[in-house]
Structure 1
Amino acid sequence: MQHQHILAWLGDVASDLHSIRHDIHAHPELGFEESRTSALVAALLQQWGYEVHTGIGKTGVVGVLRNGSSSRTLGLRADMDALPIEEASGAAYASRHPGCMHACGHDGHT
């Protein structure tokens, strides 16, 4: 995909990506308890055409996107877990789980 196409695509999906991030932020889950988050990630990856493998290390998700016949591989990794901290941000998408929040950006990584 050329640079201009990537920027155009990002412009098209920016609103959706913000909504997904806000949803993940509002529903934080501690490490190895990310069942809702991993199900959401798996469903989105499948929707976007990825081959999806779930249950990796309990709640992990792997998405594989194949393009052509190249043997080259690129790996990306993201954390999904939240922290046992009370959120006091007041944001519309603030944590709905008392004592648990995304305080270090994992909602954005995912």
Structure 2
Amino acid sequence: MATKSLHVLLDDIRLLGSEQHLIVEAVRASVKSSFPDTLEEVKYGGILFSSGVHFCGVFAYKEHVSVEFSMGAKIADTYGFLEGRGKGRRHLKLFTLIDVEEKKVVHYLPLALEAVKENA
């Protein structure tokens, strides 16, 4: 089965809701500004980001957008925004475009990459 292209996925997200699309694009911009050489891959219904290793992904749902951190349990969560209780993953739930800034996505990105590299 062919992998969905990034363009097609973004079009699908736009149909899901304009707010979700804006949030996903804001997360993508945050990742690209933090790590200009980051690669994007459409997988598992979302966009995975890698900088040598996959360190996070963004997934759009009907009610929110989730930024998933592969080794999020290893991140020192000084702000307390990370959700989840599994052995490895943690995520940020974003409901509005303002949440991208208020939940400090840019703060968590380098921590997520560092956590993955330390545990590789």
Higher-RCO chain (CA-CA 8 Å, sequence separation at least 6):
1
Provide TM-score, normalisation by structure 2. 0.28
Provide TM-score, normalisation by structure 1. 0.30
Q: Larger helix proportion, structure 1 or 2? A: 2
Q: Larger strand proportion, structure 1 or 2? A: 2
